[in-house]
Structure 1
Amino acid sequence: MASSSGAADRAEDNGRLIAGRYRLLDRIGRGGMGVVWRATDTLLARQVAVKELRLDASLSEEEAAQLRERTLREARTIAQIGHPHVIVVHDVVVQDEQPFIVIELIEGGSLADRIAAHGPLGPAEAARLCRDLLGALRAAHEQGVLHRDLKPGNVLLETGTGRVVLTDFGIAQVAGSTTLTEYGSFVGSPEYTAPERMSGGAAGPESDLWSLGVLLCAAVSGESPFRRDSLGGILHAVLMEEVRPPVEAGPLLPLVRGLLDRDPLRRIDAAEAERLLRAYARTGVMPAVRPDARVRRWFSPTRVDDGPERVRGPGGRHDAGTPRHPSGKLVAAATAAAVAAAGISAAALLMRKGDDPGKDGPSPSVSTVAPSATPGPSTGGPTEPLPVPAGYRMVDDPAGFSLAVPDNYRRKLLASRIFYMSPGDVIRLGVREQKPVRGGPAAEQRRAHAEGPDGNPGYRDGKVTETVYHGRPAARWEFTWDGSSPAEGARHTVDLCWEEGGRMYDLWVSAPVGRLREAERQFAMALDTFVAGKTR
């Protein structure tokens, strides 16, 4: 949205050379925190877009420095996503203490432009767009990035190819009629913002999925179901009123209702949403949501904003106190989401005695398709298994549990600890089952943390965080250590401990610090597919 200073901007800045390489041509967008320019990369002779962060003059020097650093840090993180439906960040530069983010130039308008010019999308086209955006969100979430402002204006449609591109990850918010982007306050578009964020709770991937559900409604009907004449009306609609999907969303209703569940603990996750969309693309009919589908809380988002959803470190503790519903009643779901967002992003307990592999144990029963058995009530496991992606296989372990592991991992047994290890035993997934202890998972993990230096050379940065796993109280312990030998080098271990079916389980991963991201993905898959006490 242009301002009265637009002409001055163009006269002063057109032709300006940034970092000796990027020549600004014309302004193509403006938001509350910056300006977007069409530019030429003079080194590679290509057209790019350049986002310039322009700081409010009222900010203190310290606040301005923090915002610059936050912007650059987030831009560098997004540059690592590397997904075809996420905007490509080419470069991050600073000139005259002002950050500039250089991104690919998408020739084509936004989804908002498309709806304004040609009307809403049909269900099939909207479903395809939704599936592309799901892939983009999952890739971002794996890098610790929450979008926080998913709306039609931030979805670009490339002319000629139809490519869907998700942009504006908080780098330079594009102002809309109800967008709030002030530093240190709420960030996002209220019509598209999840209720747990509205009520001051912590946000995780599930909050972006709510926004995706609202965007899907807008794509098929032309507007958000929460659009009202005032900001107060929008807040009331998001937090209080009955959620009424538009009639145009009828063919996609199971997905829409699954994404727009106000309780983030009941909201479906990306895997379930993708399952529904795949079925719809294949058959033209969307199946019902699985009764037990829940958000898989393995992800611990990296927080980059200092607004009301700020948290302290990986523990995810909310600084602003317990959020309350406008009626005065506690918003239990938002509180649970704040705890759960601390979650399970880094994996497991390497045990007090280290994680040296032992001898090969009994060979497990292996299948390339998830087992179809339905767990009994005591296990609480899924009634329909998640699809296992290429490169993984389901194993029915002789100890009675099942989970998905990478194809090339092999089983080893050491005392009561079962391992699935990568070639060379570099990355180690472990499982232990035992009787519950007094005080539950949190007490067990705190004891492990206290004894950590005894069996883990160079034990450091240890911490225990209470969380939830599939609705059950759980505790996560993580630490860095020097490895079993000098040749191994520094390693990081993360463990999740929970009680289920009258037993206590630990599921953990240990990996070199340089391969932790890879290990976390494998750990997440193990957690998502783990079934305890499986009957063979």
Structure 2
Amino acid sequence: MGTEGEAGVRVIAGRYRLEARLGRGGMGVVWRATDRLLGRQVAVKELVPDDSLSEEEARARHDRTLREARAVAQLSHPHIIVVHDVVEEDERPYIVMELIDGGSLADRIAEHGPVEPREAARIGADLLGALRAAHAAGVLHRDIKPANVLVESGSGRAVLTDFGIAQVAGATTLTETGSFVGSPEYTAPERMSGERTGPASDLWSLGALLCTVLSGESPFRRDSLGGILHAVVVADIRTPPQAAPLLPVVRGLLERDPQRRLDAAEAERMLRAFLATGRTPPAPARTGYTPTQADLPRQRSADPSVPAGRERPTRGVLVAALLVAAMAGAGVSAAALLMDRGGGGGTPPWPGPTVSGSAATPTVSGSVPVPTVSGSTAVPTMSGSVSAPAQGRPGAPSGYRVVDDPAGYAFAVPEGFTRVPQGERVFYMSPGRTFRLGVRVTQPQPGGPLSVLKAAAVKGADTNPGYRNGRVTETTRDGRPAALWEFTWDGFSAAEGPRHTFDLCWEEGGRLYDVWVSAPVEKAREARQYFDVAVDTFVPV
């Protein structure tokens, strides 16, 4: 276990004097040490043996540790911890790293609370640069969380550390013994459900980290492991209000489908644009991306990992098995969480077509019947007044404004959208009415939001020409029962073309709220952002 130096201090590899313990994690102990050869302070991570492993497994783990730590040592980036050396003593690996004078990001949040959006954007952009360098070298971190980010005193430099469960492309995972590695609150849903891990999984973790930095708590924190798994894999993702200025980035990183998730370059560009201008640009559409019904944004179904119109039974089985195993001890029925609640029929509680089914692409819960507004209604006139964020009022992401609508609610709408009242329905429309964001407030109906939307879906072909691929899903909004209706239709004219609609319905304060967004199929990604923001910021007043 190393030689004994002066005053009983351990010296390893005849060079590194271990002087004080800085911390302990799941895989080892980190020491403050002195490199006696170069006369400098360093940090040394001692990887402790796992008594649960067989001799063969322990040897494989040891070999992987050395191999992959040496790969990480090749990384060179100002926001990645510098690995100076990898040594072993008495068959135990030690990783010698630069010593950062400062605590972790988790310590900073615990002591001083959440950070402001500009500081969060700076930290996020720096870490994204670090991830780009790591991923380009074929190294995945796999455990990004505030505790694994150090903040240097004085400079405030954020440094990504603890690549202890990192994975090098083409290699097995460093701690892989058939058990899960990582921090569930920050782990991407594809890893939770047993799918292949790639760079996009690290980006999901960074999105969760940004939420924590801005609000003080991960959006997936729950009281049990089963609750965390449900939040990550199944439940609606509710970003904290403090994330509003950076919402396009946060939403883009917390996209459950890794193929649609923002990549590191896009996210970093957007955050640096916010730092330069105070405004976060919208997430770009994927180059060459041509949406089809199968590729449209996912609806919140019993298994939200399944995009509309696409069946993925293998993943669904894996998710179900994972949740069943995790929740069995907590007395939670995974069947109740995962069962399909779509379909149904009934009579719509309001008359037929009047409003144009609005299409959006949300990642939200609950939705309400989407009637249809004629594209040739009155000329838009602006009414709802812009209100600054105040107590009880939502904040507006960059590129949006808060409207205090006379109908009794406030929410954020994109700048440039104008208010067009249509009887009981109020629309906020983009120039040329390409995007239509609708709201309707009525009295609660028998059977609640789910019954309302199922009844409307039965009449979908009557109210929306060419209605197809409709699905109603039971969900929640802020813990309240809700329903989400998603469908494609042909629009009101050949010139308008096919459109896609997302509609959320829920009850709150003795009223039934219905919010929807409609847009051309090819603009579904952008519409989804509008829908997400509208539902996330909606507040009855």
TM-score (normalizing by structure 2): 0.51
Check conservation: 2:82, 2:97, Cα contact below 8 A: yes
The partner residue of 1:118 within 109, 112, 115 is 112
Check conservation: 1:35, 1:172, Cα contact below 8 A: no
In structure 2, the partner of 1:132 is: 126
Q: Does 1:223 align with 2:207?
A: no
Check conservation: 2:5, 2:11, Cα contact below 8 A: no
Q: Could you list the runs of 5+ residues in structure 1 that have no partner in the other structure?
A: 1-9, 174-180, 296-319, 330-536
In structure 1, the partner of 2:41 is: 47
In structure 1, the partner of 2:194 is: 200
Q: Does 1:142 align with 2:142?
A: no
Check conservation: 1:32, 1:182, Cα contact below 8 A: no
Amino acid at match of 1:142: A
Q: Does 1:160 align with 2:115?
A: no
Distance in 1 (alpha carbons) for counterparts of 2:17 and 2:288? 48
Q: Does 1:65 align with 2:59?
A: yes
Check conservation: 2:122, 2:272, Cα contact below 8 A: no
Distance in 2 (alpha carbons) for counterparts of 1:144 and 1:322? 29
Distance in 1 (alpha carbons) for counterparts of 2:263 and 2:81? 23
Quote the offset at 1:160 in angstroms.
Answer: 1.2
The partner residue of 2:76 within 67, 71, 82 is 82
Quote the offset at 1:291 in angstroms.
Answer: 2.8
Distance in 2 (alpha carbons) for counterparts of 1:13 and 1:185? 41
Quote the offset at 1:324 in angstroms.
Answer: 3.0
Distance in 2 (alpha carbons) for counterparts of 1:12 and 1:149? 37
Deviations 1:166-202 (A, max 9, x none): 00112599xxxxxxx7843111000000000000001
Task: Find the residue that maps to 2:207 and give its secondary structure.
Answer: helix
In structure 2, the partner of 1:305 is: none
Task: Find the residue that maps to 2:230 and give its secondary structure.
Answer: helix
Distance in 2 (alpha carbons) for counterparts of 1:323 and 1:264? 19
In structure 2, the partner of 1:251 is: 245
Distance in 1 (alpha carbons) for counterparts of 2:7 and 2:134? 33
Distance in 1 (alpha carbons) for counterparts of 2:96 and 2:288? 37
Q: CA 1:294/1:205 → structure 2, altered by over 3 Å: closer, same or farther? A: farther
The size of the alignment, in residue pairs, is 290
Aligned pairs (5 A) from 1:85-96: 85-96=79-90
Q: CA 1:321/1:231 → structure 2, altered by over 3 Å: closer, same or farther? A: closer
Q: Does 1:272 align with 2:266?
A: yes
Quote the offset at 1:130 in angstroms.
Answer: 0.2
Aligned pairs (5 A) from 1:94-493: 94-170=88-164, 183-292=177-286, 324-326=318-320, 327=338
Distance in 2 (alpha carbons) for counterparts of 1:59 and 1:150? 25
Q: Could you list the runs of 5+ residues in structure 2 that have no partner in the other structure?
A: 168-174, 290-313, 321-337, 341-541
Amino acid at match of 2:115: L
Check conservation: 2:30, 2:44, Cα contact below 8 A: yes
How much is the aligned-residue C-alpha RMSD, in angstroms?
A: 2.7
Distance in 1 (alpha carbons) for counterparts of 2:108 and 2:63? 34
Quote the offset at 1:26 in angstroms.
Answer: 1.2
Q: CA 1:287/1:172 → structure 2, altered by over 3 Å: closer, same or farther? A: closer
Q: CA 1:120/1:88 → structure 2, altered by over 3 Å: closer, same or farther? A: same
Q: CA 1:279/1:28 → structure 2, altered by over 3 Å: closer, same or farther? A: same
Quote the offset at 1:269 in angstroms.
Answer: 0.7
Q: CA 1:202/1:260 → structure 2, altered by over 3 Å: closer, same or farther? A: same
Task: Find the residue that maps to 2:141 and give its secondary structure.
Answer: coil
Quote the offset at 1:31 in angstroms.
Answer: 1.6
Task: Find the residue that maps to 2:274 and give its secondary structure.
Answer: helix
Q: CA 1:138/1:56 → structure 2, altered by over 3 Å: closer, same or farther? A: same
TM-score (normalizing by structure 1): 0.51
